[in-house]
Chain A
Amino acid sequence: MRREKPAVAVSCLLLVATIAVAIGIARGATTAAKPAAERYLHVKVDGGTKGESVNVNVPLSMAVKILPTINHGDLHNGRVTISGADINDVDLHAILDAVRTAPDNEFVTVKSSEQDVRVAKSNGNLIIHVRGSGKEGGKGGQKVDVTVPMKVVDALFSTAKQNELDVAAAIRALGEAGETVLVTVQDAEQNVKIWIDSKSGAE
């Protein structure tokens, strides 16, 4: 009986050690399988005549899961069909390829009495700036800044069809693009900001 006690104790120790090792392996596996940090699309609208504010926060992974299931109107399987004959005569893929391979540059600059428009490529981003003069109605001019990573533009036009935009692929690319401010609109009445980051809240 006395000889059996050490054997039982050793067996218990071995069992505990095995469980500890198993838990360690499981934890390691969990850590290794940990998915990339969640990205959130935020939309914030401030201002208005009454001082309203609207905040919308959407996890990108949620949008990627839901979009392909919507089959309504021009949206099918995460892709939007551009209807209308205007697009038929324009080779969007060729234009995109030309923009992609071009060095950083200003592609379009329009200056008029009402507004200035500038389209450029810089540091892997497609940038659009619009500046309103604000002469109409005597209010301050409107400022619009749009920054779209070229990877997102590529994903958007990654479908084989000429008149389709792959919105789901673009959202996936947005998630991989990192934290970025996509759109800001400022005018006398309200401010709009659309951006991507890893915080679930807008603040």
Chain B
Amino acid sequence: MILLGKVGIGIVGTALAGAGIICSEGMISVNVETRQPEKHHVFVVAPAMLVPIAMHFIPKEHLAEHAHEIQPWLPTIRASLDALSESDDITFVDVKEPGQNVRVAKSGGSIVVDVNENDETVHVSTPIRAMSSAIEELAATSPAPTR
């Protein structure tokens, strides 16, 4: 009985530790709600750490072209993500017009994009750390620039 208890604690502990590690980079959430012409609701929440892990399994030849394209912009992207992670929570862009509102903001370590229209609502939240990890994964697939 005691042995079973110890095994149970071990399994639960491992599961909790695994869940903690997977969620350590935050969660990506996508919420799309369409009201017309048909009502649809898509709500996805996924651990952000899965993005760089998933990128490991994409064939390198598929990523190479994109990696080559972003190569000149890597310093800018890295500096932007560093500056974003250091900045306070802020609304960067807020566009309002009758029947439509678009907002891009930093909130709690994530970049949040909200689009509210009469017929549709879109909410996307991505942790900045996950973006950095994904960009570094993508950069790693690109051959070093020749000088």
Contacts and interface: CB of A to CB of B under 8 A. Distances in A.
B98 A65 contact: no
Given A54-B94, A57-B90, A200-B90, A62 B84 contact: yes
B75 interface: yes
A55 B88 contact: no
Interface string B77-119: 0111011101111111111111000000000000000000000
Contact of B95 (A53, A57, A59, A61): A53
Given A52-B95, A54-B94, A202-B94, A65 B88 contact: no
Contacts of B78: 69
B79 A69 contact: yes
A71 B72 contact: yes
Nearest to B98: A50
A3 B97 CA distance: 80
Interface residues of A, number: 24
A122 B125 CA distance: 47
Contact of B91 (A57, A69, A72): A57
Interface in A34-89: 38, 40, 48, 50-59, 61-62, 65-66, 69-72
Interface string B58-81: 000000000000001001101110
**Contact residues of B: prevailing secondary structure:** mixed
Nearest to A51: B98
Contacts of A201: 90-91
Interface residues of B, number: 22
B82 A65 contact: yes
Contact of A38 (B88, B92, B94): B88
Given A38-B88, A50-B98, A66-B79, A55 B72 contact: no
A58 B94 contact: no
A36 B96 CA distance: 32
B6 to A, nearest CB: 36
A66 B86 CA distance: 13
B7 to A, nearest CB: 40
Nearest to B84: A62
A38 B90 CA distance: 12
11 contacts: A52-B97, A54-B94, A54-B95, A57-B90, A59-B90, A62-B87, A65-B83, A66-B76, A69-B78, A69-B79, A201-B91
6 A-B pairs with least C-beta separation: A52-B97, A62-B83, A69-B75, A55-B94, A69-B76, A200-B90
Given A56-B92, A57-B93, A201-B91, 12 more contacts: A50-B97, A50-B98, A53-B95, A54-B94, A55-B91, A55-B95, A59-B83, A62-B87, A65-B82, A69-B75, A72-B72, A202-B91
